[in-house]
Structure 1
Amino acid sequence: MLISSNGLFCLVDSLKDSTRIYNPSTGEISPSIQRSPGVRDRMFATYGFGFDPSTKKHKVVRAWRIPKAKIGVDGEIINCEVSTVGEDNTWRKADYGVNAVIRGSSVSVNGSIYWMKGGYFQSGFANYESLVAFDVGSEKFREISLPKSFRAYTFKLLEVDGGISVLHKLDDFEVNLWIFKDDKDNGKWIEEIISMPSDWDGTNLYQSVQQIPGTDIIIFKAKGTYDAPRHFISLYHYDRKMRTFKKVKILGLPAMMMTPRESFSLPNSLATSPPIDYGFFTMIESLSPVQKQQQG
């Protein structure tokens, strides 16, 4: 898994339960940060990577849940750890402090990392009630209630106008964009309806969605499918002010990539993994060190 934040990448190896930080501007990469000694029974671990603009520090956070049955009681508990890039090569415990199981991918926006709180399914939809936010500076968690009318099977968290937003599909050709105006006390949600272009493949809403910072442009990329190969190399630029789309073709890239992998069931043979699709990030240059600095 790859997570970006303010010029750096966090590379997560879920199988080995380790992370590394990479700075593409300097080419520097951190040592692997392994899981804490004695930590076991990780289930449904999720990761976040964010930047605190006040201290200019990046931090990695991960949380996982453990069924309380493993320790003799009902329900489940949430454990959380944090590591500061360039300072720590280990994890330290953090106080989770909210009664919520977080789901899916995270997004870092203006000093906080956001996840969706786990929902419950009803009539084909998942009823999500809130977001969970981690303040990178204070290392405190809080919940943000979603609009009461929010119902979605799939969703995407993204940054819009410097704040957290939630995008979800209404039908094959309309998506709903909820933008949160956060004042820390009485934030409010603003709704925008986006009509997708006529050649949009509504079966897969998005793989990558990003706003270009400082503009009204949101870039959409549908997840590639075998029956819709055009989306492997095409992006859609949406102008929120003009409410118009422009399709942009990316030339010079293969339509798809296949990665050979060794088959565990058939020794000395090659199996083919699913096709690798393209994603994209908005990036800035950074000189931030990613390795622990020597005290001089």
Structure 2
Amino acid sequence: MQAILNKDLFVCEQVQKPINGMICLIDKKESGGYDKIKEDHAACLYNVITQEATPWIRSTYLAQVEQCCDLSEVDVDRTYEFGFDPTTKEYKVICMWIISGWELQKFEGCGEYTLYENTEGNEADYKMCEILTLGKDTAWRRIDKVPPYAYYQYKDIFGSVYSNGSIYWTMYEGLRPILVAFDVGSEEYRVIPDFDMIGIDRHMSYCLMAFDEHLPAVKNVDNHTITLWILDDDCDKNTSTTNSSNIKWTKEIIMLPLCWTYKCVRLHVVEGTEYLIL
């Protein structure tokens, strides 16, 4: 890693959630309006203790897309995730793309192509996922299997969670919530089945969190009670995306000290302990 000036480092678009004292920074320049100008993003890894950072590595995906279509006529959405592989001790940043628009022409090499039916005209989109091993890779790498995600559906509300080598997030198939787990080491995703069977639904106040290397789904049941459904992830990592026989959820109930009417109670972990803060 090399030291760089802070004034150059923190002129960036996003700061991802820290992992082990390391922070992933995203530099993404983009202007809106009718004269849209979109530039590809860059990422680097910043060490909070030593104040050192890896070089910025910029993606070239949009430059390739721009050769085939007018970027001012399409919508570009990106979702970033930051994770850690405990086996190799490597940090990775994932970028999941959706490029959509009317009359979007199909061209090779730009991702999974979907043409929507029953629409006026030809509305289509490309989905693509690229990964950067921070401090090691000199360029972004694409992966074949694009994880299911929805940029616009509740991501800012529920967010994503890193825990024990995997990144978790929720999305919806219609009204049905699903839980997606992306394994940072293998760079493959799993859809954890029966997420709605533990009582999670679109109208329930819930969130994900990391606790003691496990993933609890936290539900506000009523004004007196919070329920934690804790996923046995070590067991789940060996299952397929369709086999739910080995999925194990453990239920824990927390009684609130007060009757908090109409309150959305959030839990925060005290790192290195078994304590939670309401």
Once the two structures are aligned, what percentage of the paired residues are identical? 33
Q: 1:140 aligns with which of 170, 188, 197?
A: 188
Tell me the secondary structure at the aligned position of residue 45 of structure 1.
Answer: strand
Q: What residue is the counterpart of 1:45 in the other structure? A: 78
Tell me the secondary structure at the aligned position of residue 118 of structure 1.
Answer: strand
* Aligned counterparts, 1:204-223, within 5 A: 204-206=264-266, 209-220=267-278
**What is the CA deviation profile of residues 111-141 of structure 1, one whole-angstrom value per residue up to 9, with x for unaligned ones?**
11111133534xxxxx31x211111111111
Q: Is the 8 A contact 2:81 2:167 kept in 1?
A: yes
Q: What residue is the counterpart of 2:7 in the other structure? A: none
The unaligned stretches of length 5 or more in structure 1 are: 122-126, 221-296
Offset at 1:188? 1.2
CA distance in 2, matches of 1:119, 1:197: 36
Q: Is the 8 A contact 1:42 1:64 kept in 2?
A: no
Higher relative contact order (Cα pairs below 8 Å, separated by 6+ residues) = 1
Q: Is the 8 A contact 1:166 1:179 kept in 2?
A: yes
Q: What residue is the counterpart of 1:91 in the other structure? A: 140
Q: 1:54 aligns with which of 79, 84, 87?
A: 87
Runs of 4+ in 1 over 6 A off after TM superposition: none
Q: Is the 8 A contact 1:160 1:211 kept in 2?
A: yes
AA aligned to 2:200 is: F
Distance 1:100 1:196, change over 3 A: same
CA distance in 1, matches of 2:272, 2:45: 26
Distance 1:210 1:20, change over 3 A: farther
CA distance in 2, matches of 1:14, 1:205: 33
Tell me the secondary structure at the aligned position of residue 18 of structure 2.
Answer: strand
Offset at 1:83? 0.3
Q: Is the 8 A contact 1:59 1:136 kept in 2?
A: yes
Q: Is the 8 A contact 2:223 2:259 kept in 1?
A: no
Q: What residue is the counterpart of 1:155 in the other structure? A: 206
Offset at 1:200? 5.2
Q: What residue is the counterpart of 2:59 in the other structure? A: 35
CA distance in 2, matches of 1:210, 1:155: 14
Q: 2:219 aligns with which of 143, 168, 174?
A: 168
Q: What residue is the counterpart of 2:68 in the other structure? A: none
AA aligned to 1:218 is: L
Q: Is the 8 A contact 1:78 1:101 kept in 2?
A: no
CA distance in 1, matches of 2:223, 2:127: 36
Q: 1:194 aligns with which of 236, 254, 259?
A: 254
AA aligned to 1:92 is: R
Distance 1:201 1:21, change over 3 A: farther
Distance 1:190 1:87, change over 3 A: same
AA aligned to 2:145 is: Y
AA aligned to 1:150 is: I
CA distance in 1, matches of 2:165, 2:89: 10
Offset at 1:50? 0.9
Tell me the secondary structure at the aligned position of residue 137 of structure 1.
Answer: coil
Distance 1:48 1:199, change over 3 A: same
- Greater helix proportion: 2
Q: Does 1:25 align with 2:73?
A: no
CA distance in 1, matches of 2:25, 2:57: 10
Offset at 1:156? 2.1
Distance 1:151 1:4, change over 3 A: same
- Greater strand proportion: 1
* Aligned counterparts, 1:239-250, within 5 A: none
Q: What residue is the counterpart of 2:33 in the other structure? A: none
Tell me the secondary structure at the aligned position of residue 159 of structure 1.
Answer: coil
